[in-house]
Every structure is written in C-alpha cells, then in structure tokens.
Structure 1
Amino acid sequence: MDLDVFMMFSSIAGVLGMPGLGNYAAANAFLDALAHQRRAQNLPATSVAYGVWEGEGMAAGLTGRTTLTHLAKFGLDPLKPEEGLKLLEQTIRGGRALTVAAALDPERLRIYLKNEHAERGGIPSFYSKLLSEQERNGSCNEPRNSGRAGNLRTKLSKAPAGQHEAIVLAMVRETVAKALGFTSAGQVDVDIPLQDIGFDSLTAVLLRNRLSALTSLKTLSAGSITWQYPNLRSLSHFLLSQIQSEAQAQSKQSCSVSDHTRKQSVNSTTYTMEAARKGHLDPDIAFDNIEEAQRPRSVFVTGATGFVGAFILRELLELGIAAHCLVRAEGVKHGQQRLVESLASYDLWKHDYAPLLTPVVGDAAKPLFGLTNVAFDDLANRVDAICHSGALVDWLRPLNDYIGPNVISTHEVLRLASRGRGKAVHVISTLATLPMHMGYDVPEHDREYGYSTSKYIAERMVAAARWRGARASVYRVPFVAASAATGHFRVDRGDFLHNLIAGSIQMGSFPSLDADLSVVQPVDYLSKTVVAIMVHDRSRIGHDFDFVNKHAVSCNHFFQLMGGDDAGTLLPFHEWQLRALAYAAAHPKSALARIGTIIDGLADESALAAMLKGLPTGEHVLGGDVYPAPLVDEQLARHYRDRIDMFNSDGPISSLEPGKME
C-alpha cells in the first residue's frame, strides 16, 4: 500500500520500563521498534509513546487509584485530551520514528528513583542520563534505607519472642501505607484481602522491592505477595517465619549439636516438626490397640467447620453417631457456636443433633492438637473412629504454610489412633497427589506444589502407620462441587472451579472446553460415600480410594445447563480469556477476579482442560460401579444456579445481560 502516514500509539512504559508493567512495556516497545524498522526501509512510520491521559481511559479503568498514585510519584501527570491531540499533530509533523508525548516531572522522577534504588547502588545509568544526573561525589545516590534490614533483624533479636509478630506486622503495615499512599499506617486493615486494599501488579512489585530491602529476603515474588497470602497478617507471619528460618540455618552452620542433645529432643515439638516434614512417624507410635472394626458410636472429626467436613459431620449426626469435633475457639461455648453456624450455613443443622455434638477446643496444627496429655488420652478413650477432613486447601501458598495444618495434623491424628481404644482412621486427601505417586516430578514453581506435596507427605505417614498395624483409609477426593441435592457450594474465596462457573455466569459467557467433568464430584455424594464405608461397609477400610465419574458430562454441556435461558455464549478459549481478564480488572471483587492470576497464566485451552483431566487411578476406585456417582442433570444445575443467585449479595447473577458488564 502506498501510504502517507503509518501511525502507532504506544506507551511511555516501553521507554522507561515501569515496575509491574513488564509485559505491557514489551508490547509497546515492539511498536516503537517496528517504527524504526519501517523507517530504515524508507517506509512511513511514526510511533507516539503516550503517558497517562486524563479521564476514563485505560489507566483509570484497569489500574485504579493506587496505581495512578504511583504513576504520579513516578513523575507522570495526566495529559488533557486537547494536549494529547496537539502532541499527536506535532508528532506527525516532526517526522521522527518515535516521540514520547507525556507530562513528565523530572524532579519527582529523580526523587522516586533515589528512594526505590537506594539499596541497589543508586539511580540506574539509563535514568541518570535521561535526567542529566551529575554524580560527581556519589552523594546524590547515597542509600537512604541502608541498614534497615539489619536494624529490623537486630530489633527482633533484642525483643522478646512474643513481640516478634507485632514488630514485623507494624513494619509491613507501614510499608503498605507508604506504597499505597495512605496518610498513616493505622488506616491499613491487616485482616482483609490485599486486593481489597488496592493492590495490583504495579503496587505488588513496589511492595516486593521494599520488603526485600527491609528483610534481606531475596526470594520474594510480587505474585506470591498478592495472591498467596489472604491478608497482611498472614504475609507478616510468613516473613517472620522466613527470617527465623534463615537465622536458624545460620546458627546451625556456626555451631554443632551433639548426639546426646539430639537424643534428648526426640520427643520434643522440634523433633515432631522436623520428622513430620519428611513424612516420618514418631518411633513411639504403635498400633497395638487395633481390633476388628465395629460400627462406631463416637467419631473424632477434624475440619468440621469446612465444606467437606460439615457434610461428613451431618451424615454422622443423621445416623445418631456422636461426634467430637476439633475446632479453634475461645472456649467450648464458642466452639459449639462455630460448629452449629457452619452446619446451618449449608442448611444442614437440626436441633436434634445438639446432644450428639461435642466441641474439642484445640488446633490441628499443634502437637497433641494443643491439648494436655491427660485431655488427649481422654479423647483417645472416648472415640471409636477418626475422620480427618481438616486441611489448608488453598493452592497458591508455599509448602511451609501447609506443614502444620496438613502434615502435623495427620501425624497427631495417627498418634491419637494409637492410644486408648482401637479405632480406624479415615483421611480425606486429594487427587493432586497422584502425579507424585506415579513418580512424576512436581516442580516447586508449580501452583499446586505446596498443597499437593503436603498431602503426599501426609499419605506417606498413613502408609507408614498401616505398616505398623493401623487400620486406615485415604480418600483422594477430586474437585469438590456443589451439593447435588441443594446446590450449596463452598463459599471459600479460593475455590477455583466455583469461581470459574459463578464468574462466567456473571460475565455472561463460558469458555468452550474439550474436556469433561470426570474429576468433579458433588460434596454430598463424597460425604455419603466416606461415611458409608466408615459405618456400614467396614470391610473396605484399609485401602486408598480414588474417585471417577463414570457418567461424566462434557464441560460445554454442563456450562449450558448452568447458564439456563440467559446462558450467554460458549466462546473460544482465547476470546473468553481476554474477556474474563478485562471483566476481572473492571470488577475487582468478582469471582473471576479471585482467580485472575490463574486465568492469566493459562497458555491455551488445553491448559485449562488439563486441570479438569483425570489421571490413572489406583486399585480401589469409587464412583463407577462401586458407589456410583450421581448424574449431572438439569435438576442438579438448577439447584446450583439458584444457590449462586441467592448468595450474590447484589441480587441474582442472572439479572445481568449476557456478555454485558455491570
């Protein structure tokens, strides 16, 4: 084509390389490079690298207040539309391949760079040249924050251990306040999700940089800070644990521990934690009390306030079986209240259950569940079976976060089974352990590494207990779906499958997937099956069970059932992915926003389909001919859809027009 003008609109991000905008910067740098290439071939081309525009443009719609605040600190002020158009005319008339058109305050940029790069040797050379920085004596770039990490660690070393969490939390809170532009640290709520405070990709990178400088921790990532920790309190706890781990490692290098000291610590908490991390059982745990399994009259249940645990608890109570439920609470009365509220939230509670329900106030992540030896032994003599359904199930946390709730808890469940009257153990696990059982390597950067590894370690403990005589079963449950009978679903923010379905309904379109629901089972089916084996079909106890859905329907068929009359459309995956990410950015509290990082990381349709793809199962399989799974039909979908509509606090999700945003 014989063109007079070939105009491209790029961004100043491609020139200055702003933190948190790496992908965006690279895309715009390509446009700038294309302009230079065309000019080298004597073809017309002009690229204008704009800064932020005033008004409801991309910056306002996709980044929000906190990112705009940081762009201002970076030295960028918004251009008025008339200024942008005037600069466009100048760019075309100027005849250059690339023109940067932005309202940039060099002094503000200089101050920002000095603060951000103080720990790394001062302002980078590229910016120094841009700002004509005269670094004759190096005084301009003298680090302002040098020694802060050392000061933090020194402060921790001098303070009582009971104050450490408060010290780190205060530091994190102050850092976040500065990063997000709050006037004081007291305005930052430490108990709400980070995304609700105002974090996005840019501010996460900035926070990562500052926390790395303050703590000297080099392995922090922006993604983990934003998505792996539910709030600032949890993030602070992780930072403190990392600092303490490094300090312990340094201590071990500088001094050795004698064999005598090691033997003295065999029965200590330290031994239990270290051994449990490797899947080892306490040598003192033996199962000399095991007898032929009788119908249990009393069962110890962990995780009863969780989704699967609540449904299992209901099945036991409905059969008239007493339940001693481990629960974190301020006292017995509060524990009872938590259990009742959990059952009631799924419409499972009946007043007739009250005499059968006994709260055991404790913590599954602690040795002996935080109980005294006397209380622990008393519990061991009161129950005939154990159902261990308690676990931390978020995908995206580091392994260390799962050790207590997933590994130590299993170790102590097996300890309880070894004491007092004989009792069978039923452990709820996950199909995510199957790749490890099959000998495949699960790399640490895999999103499920921490969770699946912790559950695999727990399963190894159960296998070791069986070698010592325990009667124990493992149930590797698949994706847990809503109740087939009532539509009740897990209200946990991190439930990927539910957020995918509810978010697609809300957006008005679903991804077209070449996959089925063979690894998806309703929660009421799973709970009934586990309790049936525990109570009635006791000859099956002692095996590891996998689940299949012999009558699984395709994802596309299920999506159409869930959509109903206003289903919207089934879109090609890439088109749906772009729409979902835009919707998540525009609706940061939506279901899709909760799984936005996972959606963004999916390379193509096959990546999402692989998440729903089943793996080869073991010898003992449930859901086919043995305890067949229920059919997924219009009635099941209607129950689920109705429950989603009821849960939506802003009115029925179905009130949205297909394909439209709020």
Structure 2
Amino acid sequence: MDEAMRQRFAGLGDKLRSSLPPYMVPSLFIPLRAMLFNTSMKMDRQALRLLCPESAVEASQFVLGQRVAFEAPADELEAGLRQLWAQVLRIANKEISVLDNFYDLGGDSIRIVTLNKLVRKAHNVTLTVRQMSSRTITIRSLAELIRAECEGAPVRAAPAVDLMAEVAAVMGALPVDSDGPLAANPVTELPDGATILLTGATGYLGTEILKQLLRSGRKVIALVRATSPAHGLERIKRSAQIAGWWDEDADATRVEVWPGDLAHARLGLDETSWARLCGNAGVSGAVDAVVHNGAVVNWNADFSMLRAANVQSTADLLGAVAASPRSAKLVYISGGLTGDTQTDRAATAAQMAAGGNGYAQTKFLAESIVHEVAVSRLPEPHNRISTVKPGMIIGGAGGVCNIDDYIWRVVAASVSVRAFPEEPADHWMPIASVETVAGAAVSQLAASGAVKSFVDLQSVGLPAKAFWEILNEELGIACRPVSWSSWMELVSEQMIDLNEAHPLWPHGEIAVNDREVAAVQWSLQYLLKIGFITLVPGEFGTVSADAMAR
C-alpha cells in the first residue's frame, strides 16, 4: 500500500462517521486489488473471510499498519496513559499513537475494566467504565476526560439515545405491513421435518435450545461466527459436549452450520442462505421458523457498539420471516431490563435513556420492535411472532451453568469472604433453569394454535433469602448476611490483591418453585465439581475442565 492509498484509508473512517451512525462504520478496512468472485460471478464470501484477521493481535497489527500519522504524547499525562495502554494491551509503548483507538488495538470489555482501574488509581479520578467505553476512545480523548474531572468541569456525557425515535425508525424501515403475507396467515403449524434457524447456538441457553429442537425431531440450521461450516460445527459440538448431551451419530447429521455474524447486514449470510431464510420460491431447504437467541452481551459497551448485532439483526430476521411464503415463525429471546417494558414503553424508554447501559438499551429496542409487530401487525389470535423473556438462567438437571454469569461470580466472591449481600425480606430473584427457558421457546414454535405474544418467565424464581439458605446448606458452609456496603468492602479488598483473577473483575463497579430450588442446588454442585468455587476461605478455585463461558 503506497502513501497515497494509506492516506485515503486513514481518512475513510472519519468521513463515514460524519454521515453514518457509529454502528455502521467498519472497524477495519482491507484493500484488495480486485473483488473476489466465484465461478458464478457472485461475491466469494468464504475467500473474503480468509483475508480477515483471525485474532485481536492480528487485527491490532493490521490497524497499526494502516495508520497514516503517528502522534506521540504531547505531555506527561498522555505519556503516562500510553504506558497504561501498553501494559493492558501488551503492545510496545512506542508503537501506540495517542490517536489510536483502544478497541482497534485489541481492547475488549475485560481490558477496558482493567484500564479503568489503573487510570483511577494512577490519576485519582472517578471515571466509570461506561465513560471510558466509547467506541472512539483514544489516549487523547481519555486525557481530556481526566483533565475535565481534575479541573472540576462537568464530564461530557455520551449523547442520550432517543429510544422511542429508534423504535419508530426501525419500524418505519421494516417491510412488515398489517395487510401483508404475515397478517394473512396469523396461525400456522410447522410441517413435518421442519427446518429451524437458531442464532446463539454456541451459548449457554442456545445449546439447550439446540438440544431440545434436535430431540423433537427438527432439523436445525445454526448461525455461528466461524471461518467455515466445519469450524462452526466444532464450536457447537464443544458447547454441547460441555453441557453433556452431544451424540455424534444422532446429532451431527441434523445440524447445518451457516457462518455469519449478527453485526453484519443480513447476518453476514451469502445470497443462497439468505434466500433460504426468506423462503424464496425454487430454493430447497427453506427455513420454517427462527429462534433468535443470539446477542452480544457486554454490560460496559455503549448503544452504538451493540446496535447492529442486537437490534438490526432482529429487524433483518423479522423482515425475512414476515415476507416468507412458508408462513415462518419467529421466537425472540429477550433480556436486559427486568419487569414489564411494553405496557408503558415511553416511560421505560425514558428510564433507559437516562440510566441504561448499551446492552439493556439494545435489548429493549429489539424487544419493542418484536412486540410491536406481534400486537399491531398481526391479528389475534396468532402464533407467528412471540417473545420469551427470562430472568437469570441457571443450570438444569446436569447442573452445568455459565461461569461468566454475574450471579455465579457473586456467589464465588461470597463463598470466599463467607458473607453475602443481604436483600430485603421480600426481594425476589427471577431464576429459571436453562431447561425451563429453552422449553418455553420450543413450545412457542411447536404450538399449532394461538400463543401468547409475550411469555414472561421472570415470575419463576425464589426469594433471595431462600437462595442463600440453599447455598449454605448445599455447600456445608456458613456465609453470613451483611449489608451491601460491607460486602463491597470485603470484596474490594480482594479485588485489589487479585486484579483480573477475581471473578467480579469484569463487572467493574459492582412462592418457591421446587424445580428452581433444585436448579440452584445442581448448579452449586457443578461449580464445586469443576473447581470454580472452592470452600477454602479467602481463596478462589481454578476451573479444572471445559466450562460454559462467553
């Protein structure tokens, strides 16, 4: 690449940011001498994927190679921040420009927490992870935030998101009419041997949904971020094997893998796969239903970073299902903010805009457009479009649970300090086993008659007091209840000593159903078995086997 081309590429991102929302601006620009086509003169997407960096390290080196002008620190503050970046990113100090983007150099949701703690300690400031999690964070912009706080100036807040306007914009662009093919066939039944598209199949809930779909005789197409179908199948098998259910002879032949990416237009699918999803005439193997379980879960990222993966993917799937001549169904797995978000959507939107994080905002927006289609563009009764909204999801009969989930990180920290944060006596924990949540989604698809547009599983759970009583009894220990402030003091002391080894480090600032009681017990037994929890006071376990994690 000559200097003229380098200059052109370096300015391309800034030009796009001036006219496009942040989530539509690519992170990397890869120059080609010519576009790659297959023998049918269609874009060779597989060949293009092979050109992309496979790791954060490769991506960061690629970005460094595209940089036009290297800018050194202008003062001691920027120089000190560059040293912290080098420490966190494991990149040589001299290679980092003060205008480089943290995420383009390999930063992620874990490293931004580590950087935040180092910055707060080194400069005695109270910047939050969220303030530092902008997609455009650089050493220079971080230095400006620090100066502003030290000088007592109000910290420049991220632009507020008008979620109601976002709902209106997405609905306005959605090709779903109240008198279109979706409304013409409001109640349908899956055909024998139906083909189901599942997103998020490698995740904790996704692998259980996949299991239940396969055990019910369905054929499943799994959308997976992968370099090839074989690579995607290996990812699926690994999750299923950790969960303890994969049967190579029975399952492998009924799972088809589509390499794709929720953050890309049309899910990153090639033309043939997209045609099958839309049920286009003359295309074999068309999709009969969709379970949209996939999402990017990052509690520190802002709205712009997550919108494409969490919102646009939902809109793309809604449009495809609505237009399908096969009268396809869609079940959306929601999350984020607990409680009823749709009865007074405007109030919820205002609450989310004022204090919500990017993940909760994008899940609310996606949930809103699915619900809007279900209630305003479909006549009652119907079974075509519905939402399943769980609270916290824990292990089922096998006890396998996701060690990245916040609840288990709190449990591990509580066991270590032999204390747990006390909640009001009437505090309810919305907890359901992974089998319960997956079963609800599969039941929505299988129904031949009308279904509820919104299945609320947040009423499933148990009182917080009962949860901790189960923990003490199951583990044979005596964790005592303390106030949240006291608990945070105990945990914070450990976090200072352990840094990234502490289970809560990534989070920065931190009537009983018998089945759910059993699910808590099974989960605790599993966490002990794999070593995530240790009963030695003051210590944390080391995971001794493959485990479900993000």
| SS in structure 2 of the partner of residue 387 of structure 1 | strand
Q: Which amino acid in structure 2 is aligned with residue 503 of structure 1?
A: A
Paired residues for 1:381-392 under 5 Å: 381=279, 382-392=286-296
Q: Which amino acid in structure 1 is aligned with residue 115 of structure 2?
A: F
Which consecutive residues of structure 1, in runs of 5 or more, have no partner in the other structure?
Answer: 1-151, 210-219, 229-234, 244-273, 599-623
Quick one: distance in 1 between partners of 2:268 and 2:455? 30
Q: Deviations over 1:125-159 (max 9, x none)?
A: xxxxxxxxxxxxxxxxxxxxxxxxxxx98696699
Quick one: distance in 2 between partners of 1:153 and 1:187? 17
Q: Which has the larger radius of gyration?
A: 1
Counterpart of 2:366 in structure 1 is 458
Whether the 8 Å CA contact 1:549–1:629 is kept in 2: the answer is: no
Counterpart of 1:556 in structure 2 is 465
Identify the match of residue 308 of structure 2 among 395, 404, 407.
Answer: 404
Alpha-carbon spacing, 1:406–1:319, altered in 2? closer, same or farther (3 Å) = same
Counterpart of 2:119 in structure 1 is 203
Counterpart of 1:279 in structure 2 is 170
Question: What TM-score, normalized to structure 2?
Answer: 0.66
- In the TM superposition, residue 190 of structure 1 has moved relative to its aligned partner by 3.0
Counterpart of 2:99 in structure 1 is none
Counterpart of 2:515 in structure 1 is 631
Whether the 8 Å CA contact 1:521–1:549 is kept in 2: the answer is: no
Quick one: distance in 1 between partners of 2:466 and 2:66? 48
Paired residues for 1:223-262 under 5 Å: 223-224=129-130, 228=133, 238-239=136-137
Identify the match of residue 479 of structure 1 among 392, 398, 401.
Answer: 392
| SS in structure 1 of the partner of residue 432 of structure 2 | strand
Counterpart of 1:90 in structure 2 is none
- In the TM superposition, residue 293 of structure 1 has moved relative to its aligned partner by 1.8
Identify the match of residue 223 of structure 2 among 318, 326, 335.
Answer: 326
Identify the match of residue 423 of structure 2 among 507, 513, 517.
Answer: 513
Whether the 8 Å CA contact 2:290–2:330 is kept in 1: the answer is: yes
- In the TM superposition, residue 191 of structure 1 has moved relative to its aligned partner by 5.7
Identify the match of residue 368 of structure 1 among 256, 259, 266.
Answer: 266
- In the TM superposition, residue 359 of structure 1 has moved relative to its aligned partner by 0.5
Quick one: distance in 1 between partners of 2:124 and 2:265? 34
- In the TM superposition, residue 308 of structure 1 has moved relative to its aligned partner by 1.5
Quick one: distance in 1 between partners of 2:71 and 2:169? 32
Quick one: distance in 2 between partners of 1:475 and 1:538? 17
Quick one: distance in 2 between partners of 1:512 and 1:411? 41
Identify the match of residue 504 of structure 1 among 397, 409, 414.
Answer: 414
Q: Which amino acid in structure 1 is aligned with residue 418 of structure 2?
A: G
Whether the 8 Å CA contact 1:433–1:452 is kept in 2: the answer is: no
Counterpart of 2:326 in structure 1 is 421
Quick one: distance in 1 between partners of 2:352 and 2:459? 28
Counterpart of 1:91 in structure 2 is none
Quick one: distance in 2 between partners of 1:281 and 1:565? 57
Q: Which amino acid in structure 2 is aligned with residue 573 of structure 1?
A: W
| Cα RMSD after superposing both structures | 4.1
Q: Deviations over 1:78-127 (max 9, x none)?
A: xxxxxxxxxxxxxxxxxxxxxxxxxxxxxxxxxxxxxxxxxxxxxxxxxx
Q: Deviations over 1:164-220 (max 9, x none)?
A: 9815997799976523675924899836765599635352587999xxxxxxxxxx9
Q: Deviations over 1:279-338 (max 9, x none)?
A: 325354454166442135211111111222121111101111111111111111111111
Counterpart of 1:247 in structure 2 is none
| SS in structure 2 of the partner of residue 636 of structure 1 | helix
Counterpart of 1:594 in structure 2 is 506
Identify the match of residue 476 of structure 2 among 557, 565, 573.
Answer: 565
Whether the 8 Å CA contact 1:583–1:592 is kept in 2: the answer is: no
Aligned length: 424
Q: Deviations over 1:30-67 (max 9, x none)?
A: xxxxxxxxxxxxxxxxxxxxxxxxxxxxxxxxxxxxxx
- In the TM superposition, residue 445 of structure 1 has moved relative to its aligned partner by 5.2
Q: Which amino acid in structure 1 is aligned with residue 292 of structure 2?
A: H
Quick one: distance in 1 between partners of 2:169 and 2:442? 30
Alpha-carbon spacing, 1:380–1:153, altered in 2? closer, same or farther (3 Å) = closer
Quick one: distance in 1 between partners of 2:129 and 2:299? 13
Quick one: distance in 2 between partners of 1:206 and 1:574? 24
Which consecutive residues of structure 2, in runs of 5 or more, have no partner in the other structure?
Answer: 1-8, 17-27, 32-59, 74-78, 97-104, 142-164, 280-285, 542-550
Q: Which amino acid in structure 2 is aligned with residue 295 of structure 1?
A: L
Percent sequence identity is: 18
| SS in structure 2 of the partner of residue 359 of structure 1 | strand
| SS in structure 1 of the partner of residue 476 of structure 2 | helix
Quick one: distance in 2 between partners of 1:526 and 1:505? 27
Quick one: distance in 1 between partners of 2:72 and 2:298? 24
- In the TM superposition, residue 648 of structure 1 has moved relative to its aligned partner by 3.1
- In the TM superposition, residue 533 of structure 1 has moved relative to its aligned partner by 2.5
- In the TM superposition, residue 400 of structure 1 has moved relative to its aligned partner by 0.8
1:643 paired with 2:548, answer no
Quick one: distance in 1 between partners of 2:456 and 2:71? 43
Paired residues for 1:171-182 under 5 Å: 177-179=82-84
Alpha-carbon spacing, 1:293–1:154, altered in 2? closer, same or farther (3 Å) = closer
1:300 paired with 2:200, answer no
Whether the 8 Å CA contact 2:371–2:453 is kept in 1: the answer is: no
Q: Which amino acid in structure 1 is aligned with residue 441 of structure 2?
A: V
Counterpart of 1:356 in structure 2 is 254
Q: Deviations over 1:478-514 (max 9, x none)?
A: 122x21312211233xx32221122212332212222
| SS in structure 2 of the partner of residue 280 of structure 1 | helix
Paired residues for 1:103-114 under 5 Å: none
1:380 paired with 2:278, answer yes
- In the TM superposition, residue 538 of structure 1 has moved relative to its aligned partner by 3.9
Paired residues for 1:52-131 under 5 Å: none
Counterpart of 2:534 in structure 1 is 653
Whether the 8 Å CA contact 1:472–1:543 is kept in 2: the answer is: yes
Structure with greater contact order relative to length (CA < 8 Å, sep ≥ 6)? 2
Quick one: distance in 2 between partners of 1:546 and 1:173? 54
Question: What TM-score, normalized to structure 1?
Answer: 0.56
Paired residues for 1:16-31 under 5 Å: none
Q: Deviations over 1:344-399 (max 9, x none)?
A: 22223222111110011111222222224443112333121111111123223211
